[in-house]
């Protein structure tokens, strides 16, 4: 195991594996690896804490990943609510994150261009950046999907989920998803 992979495993161990979800294994030399995607704010299938929702600070959650396929050049993230009444509701679109980026801190500012590289698109709230869970009723699932891509995408600022999905066709090396739930309490 090389130093980079030891560091990634140390990060995962420090997080206690919270929210760990494995994608299909990819080959890197003789070692089989799987893309790992976690959040320290919630676990796979768990509850999203209020600060990351419209009932709190509406800030993006911290995310981290490891075991990138060797040909990864950029990352993309889509977060949506598949339980929304009118079909999947998009909460976050991120693309062109450099391959060297292996985590996002909480509370990414809602700007098209991200510090350190990458861009944020337009969500279904018609805003740039992250807009947290805000279900009209009941418990909804929120799926964060990380994509490893073999190239940078030629998308301008404020791209939508549909535009990102079109641009990613033929460039996805691997992906992993993390799902959590949120219910609003009656006031």
Three-state SS annotation for the chain: CCHHHHHHHHHHHHCCCCCCEEEEEEEECCEEEEEEEECCCCCCCCECCHHHCCCCCCCCCCEEEECCCCCCCEEEEEEEECCCCCCCEEEEEEEEEECCCCEECCCCCCCCECCCCCEECECCCCCECCCCCCCCCCEEEEEEEEEEECCCCCCCCCCCHHHHHHHHCCCEEEEEEEEEEEECCCC
Q: Is the pLDDT of residue 71 over 80?
A: yes
Confidence of residue 33 (pLDDT cuts 50, 70, 90): low
Q: What is the pLDDT of residues 102-142, one digit of tens each?
A: 999 999 999 999 998 999 999 999 999 999 999 999 999 99
pLDDT higher for 33 or 69? 69
Domains in the chain: boundaries: 3-183
Mean pLDDT of the 42-51 span: 98
Separation CA 184–CA 176 (nearest Å): 27
Q: What is the mean pLDDT of the segment spanning 50-78?
A: 97
What kind of architecture, by CATH, is found in domain 3-183? Alpha-Beta Complex (3.90)
- Distance CA(63)–CA(60), nearest Å, equals 9
- pLDDT reported for residue 186: 56
């Amino acid at each position: 195991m090389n130093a980079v992979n030891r560091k990634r495993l140390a990060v995962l161990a420090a997080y206690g594996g919270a929210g760990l979800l494995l994608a299909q294994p990819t080959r890197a030399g003789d070692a089989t690896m799987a893309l790992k995607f976690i959040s320290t704010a919630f676990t796979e299938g768990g509850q999203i804490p209020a600060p990351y929702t419209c009932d709190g600070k509406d800030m993006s959650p911290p995310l981290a990943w490891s075991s990138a396929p060797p040909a990864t050049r950029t990352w993309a993230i889509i977060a949506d609510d598949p339980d929304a009444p009118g079909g999947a509701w998009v909460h976050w679109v991120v693309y062109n994150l450099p391959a060297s980026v292996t985590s996002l801190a909480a509370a990414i500012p809602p700007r098209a261009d991200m510090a350190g590289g990458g861009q944020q698109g337009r969500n279904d709230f018609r805003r740039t950046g992250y807009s947290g869970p805000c279900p009209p009723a009941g418990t909804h699932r929120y799926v964060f999907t990380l994509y490893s891509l073999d190239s940078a995408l030629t998308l301008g600022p404020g791209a939508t989920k549909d535009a990102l999905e079109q641009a990613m066709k033929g460039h996805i090396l691997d992906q992993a998803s993390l799902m959590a739930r949120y219910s609003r309490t009656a006031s």
